[in-house]
Structure 1
Amino acid sequence: MSSTTLPLLFINLGGEMLYILDQRLRAQNIPVDKAKKVMNDIITTMFNKKFLEELFKPQELYSKKALRTVFDRLAHASIMRLNQASMDKLYDLMTMAFKYQVLLCPRPRDLLLVSFNHMDAIREFVKDAPSILDQVDNTYKQLIEMYTPMSSGEFQLIRQTLLIFFQDMHIRVSIFLKDKVQNSNGRFVLPISGPIPHGTQIPGEIRMYSCTGDESSTLLFNNAANYAPAVCEGSFELFGDRITKLGTNMYSVCRPVETHMSGTSKLLAQHTKVNLAPNPLAKEELNLLAELMGGLDVHKNADSGFRVNLFATDEEEEEALISRPDELSYGFINIHATKDQTANAELAKIMGEFSESQQSSDQSPSISSKGDDLLAMMDGL
């Protein structure tokens, strides 16, 4: 698992979230000033300096529930409100869009190009707000400084880490189904033909090496595809639609987007009830994430708040909320430690584990502990 994957995951999912919210704000005819405030507030929170300092520290990915909690708080960092069903749909669209982009990258290093496409779009959203634009530009520089020196092997490890994170997500999205890039079971259809990246060879050979590193034999196989010759490095255009459009806004053309649980996902929901039940430490961690994410300095006016619906009608939203499996809903978990002695003992045990993790981190500075993670350090904001 790569310890440098979290910034790319957060920024690209955040970019997709902004695409979707921008489309819904326009579709629901929200006044321009309110819509701009929503986008500015979310981007301000997303690129907060202290937040990013922790984001770019080497660390493992958060669990799916913890990351969902982060984006739930991020989406509500303004006067806009989403109910549970709309938030579920928003997160489904975000994750499936970025998963498809990861799968389509011809080279692992192209993940950085996808991230730059998202950053360019975010810059466009705040082009009239110099202070926020400066935050985005600083993040752009951090991405360049951190990722451009990395080797192809390091990017391959990042890609594998992302694919492991997304491997059980098979939500059907209407845009993908209509474009025939997704099957009815929620799995993507990937092209096997086209130009190959610079520095790679056309598939068709399997080389066997001895323990000394010398090539001992070569096997040939029919790749059953039509590959174009390798192209020179550094050009977006040479990969056509497979790279130039990755990370760009697919909602720029207004069309309805629906999400549906695949049969596999429904089966997973039925058989993972026990697995999804968090232990006490996980409960407390999720509580902490929610509280700290909500503690960002974003000025809100409750009187001018409004609700955004990611469905075509309120009836569809209510129906989706009723039919959503409980195992796939991400409500906040609260621990009331003052209720009884058992709860107090449990909380003391949890805090003891946090203390042990902190001591371990002090002894090994290169490893980020759970108590010193991205959101736990935001309590100073």
Structure 2
Amino acid sequence: MGSFVFTVMNDIITTMFNKKFMEELFKPQELYSKKALRTVYDRLAHASIMRLNQASMDKLYDLMTMAFKYQVLLCPRPKDILLVTFNHLDAIKDFVRDAPNILNQVDETFRQLIDMYTCLSAGEFQLIRQTLLIFFQDMHIRVSIFLKDKVQNSNGRFVLPISGPVPWGTEVPGLIRMFNCNGDEVKRVEFTTGGNYVSPQREGSFDLYGDRVLKLGTNMYSVSRPVETHMSGASKNLASHTKENAAPNPLAKEELNFLARLMGGLEIKKPNGSEPGFRLNLFTTDEEEEYAALTRPEELSYKVINIQATQDQQQNKELARIMGEFEVADQPSQSISKGDDLLAMMDEL
């Protein structure tokens, strides 16, 4: 099972970081529509031997969009969006650390992000953050892990913390300083903030390697919760922050374990002369999955191509063509053509 998990992750990451696909994404352009984002997401999710039906894909997409919305919304400062992205890439690099070719693809994208975005001003980062929040503003899907951690209300809206570290470069609130026309401080007035704030220990690293400090964008399913999701006192926040920095990075192991648990309920068929087929179900039972598909609002549903990998390709030319798009092979040329196909699909949106 472990080898299948690595195969799935490697195939998806190879397609996601295809050179031509990345070049297209880095071109100045308008934000993609929700339909275009969903189409790209579906194609990436099916870039490996793993297959999801519509209900499971809808659930996975909802989890992805709400998790990213939460991360963007809770960024202490606009520039920290870049640290969130770097946390994502650090986790991806941990997945493919034993695959040098794929790791080089991710590192190249990492360098492009550093070159393009680290020089932007605070105002430009604020514009990026506001654009992303506008994109997600009508999405209020409830996520169980957020509800359990009490960072999301029953109406799907997130709870903003009123305690914890303040953004880097700012001071802990509670003091008003007044200056005269010469710029000299003449008076100080303290006030009660209603929260327990602390100064950040240090700024996160914006280099290829380094401590990001910010925990947004790391594994939500790790045992130790990121400090940003807690709203306790300053001492508890500081202690949790110190403990997490000292602990080993659990990202790769926890993410793989989570995917392995999901794949534990797969239906694996081994027809004669063909590779095993995978059906990934993100629901506890098949009945729950069927109910979700029936009760989901039509405007939130998307068409997903179901592929029968066990059918003889010679009997159906159209099926053979579609299967060719998702074929997984070890040769680098296959991953490149897959990325080109994804790029061509985006041009049609």
| TM-score where L is the length of structure 1 | 0.59
Mapping of residues 165-314 of structure 1, within 5 Å: 165-201=135-171, 224-226=193-195, 228=197, 230-231=199-200, 233-235=202-204, 244-253=214-223, 303-314=275-286
Report SS of the residue matched to 1:138: helix
Aligned equivalent of 2:22: 52
Supply the distance in 1 between the matched residues of 2:40 and 2:222 (Cα, whole angstroms). Answer: 26
Pick from 110, 115, 118 the counterpart of residue 148 of structure 1.
118
Confirm or deny: 8 A CA contact 2:84 2:216 kept in the other structure: yes
CA gap 1:377/1:78 in 2 versus in 1, 3 angstroms? closer
CA gap 1:44/1:244 in 2 versus in 1, 3 angstroms? same
Aligned equivalent of 2:302: 330
Over residues 34-67 of structure 1, what are the superposed CA-to-partner deviations in whole Å (9 max), with x where a residue is unaligned? Answer: 2211111100000000000011111111111110
Supply the distance in 2 between the matched residues of 1:75 and 1:309 (Cα, whole angstroms). Answer: 13
Over residues 260-319 of structure 1, what are the superposed CA-to-partner deviations in whole Å (9 max), with x where a residue is unaligned? Answer: xxxxxxxxxxxxxxxxxxxxxxxxxxxxxxxxxxxxxxxxx9742211111111111111
Supply the distance in 2 between the matched residues of 1:188 and 1:221 (Cα, whole angstroms). Answer: 30
Aligned equivalent of 1:13: none
CA gap 1:114/1:133 in 2 versus in 1, 3 angstroms? same
CA gap 1:206/1:75 in 2 versus in 1, 3 angstroms? farther
Aligned equivalent of 1:132: 102
1:325 Cα offset (Å): 1.4
Aligned equivalent of 1:43: 13
Question: Does 2:347 match 1:375?
Answer: no
Query: Which amino acid in the other structure matches residue 63 of structure 1?
Result: S
Aligned equivalent of 1:164: 134
Aligned equivalent of 1:82: 52
Supply the distance in 2 between the matched residues of 1:34 and 1:316 (Cα, whole angstroms). Answer: 26
1:227 Cα offset (Å): 5.3
Supply the distance in 2 between the matched residues of 1:223 and 1:249 (Cα, whole angstroms). Answer: 35
Aligned equivalent of 2:61: 91
CA gap 1:206/1:72 in 2 versus in 1, 3 angstroms? farther
Supply the distance in 1 between the matched residues of 2:73 and 2:5 (Cα, whole angstroms). Answer: 32
1:223 Cα offset (Å): 7.1
Supply the distance in 1 between the matched residues of 2:346 and 2:176 (Cα, whole angstroms). Answer: 50
Confirm or deny: 8 A CA contact 1:105 1:243 kept in the other structure: no
Report SS of the residue matched to 2:150: coil
Question: Does 2:287 match 1:315?
Answer: yes
Confirm or deny: 8 A CA contact 1:126 1:132 kept in the other structure: yes
CA gap 1:235/1:69 in 2 versus in 1, 3 angstroms? closer
Query: Which 4+ runs in 1 deviate beyond 6 A?
Result: 204-207, 220-223
Report SS of the residue matched to 1:57: coil
Report SS of the residue matched to 2:142: strand
Aligned equivalent of 2:314: none
Query: Which amino acid in the other structure matches residue 311 of structure 1?
Result: F
CA gap 1:378/1:166 in 2 versus in 1, 3 angstroms? closer
Aligned equivalent of 1:261: none
1:225 Cα offset (Å): 2.7
Query: Which amino acid in the other structure matches residue 145 of structure 1?
Result: D
Supply the distance in 2 between the matched residues of 1:103 and 1:119 (Cα, whole angstroms). Answer: 19
Supply the distance in 1 between the matched residues of 2:192 and 2:57 (Cα, whole angstroms). Answer: 42
Gaps of 5+ in 2: 178-188, 206-211, 225-272, 306-341
Confirm or deny: 8 A CA contact 1:54 1:377 kept in the other structure: no
Aligned equivalent of 2:4: 34
Supply the distance in 1 between the matched residues of 2:144 and 2:346 (Cα, whole angstroms). Answer: 37
Report SS of the residue matched to 1:304: coil
Supply the distance in 2 between the matched residues of 1:322 and 1:223 (Cα, whole angstroms). Answer: 51
Over residues 88-127 of structure 1, what are the superposed CA-to-partner deviations in whole Å (9 max), with x where a residue is unaligned? Answer: 0000000111111111111111111111111010001111
| Identical aligned residues as a percent | 74
Question: Does 2:8 match 1:68?
Answer: no
1:252 Cα offset (Å): 3.6
Confirm or deny: 8 A CA contact 1:41 1:78 kept in the other structure: yes
Confirm or deny: 8 A CA contact 1:196 1:227 kept in the other structure: no
- Aligned-residue RMSD, C-alpha: 3.3
1:322 Cα offset (Å): 1.1
Query: Which amino acid in the other structure matches residue 98 of structure 1?
Result: F
Aligned residues: 251
CA gap 1:184/1:304 in 2 versus in 1, 3 angstroms? same
Confirm or deny: 8 A CA contact 1:108 1:159 kept in the other structure: yes
Supply the distance in 2 between the matched residues of 1:253 and 1:315 (Cα, whole angstroms). Answer: 29
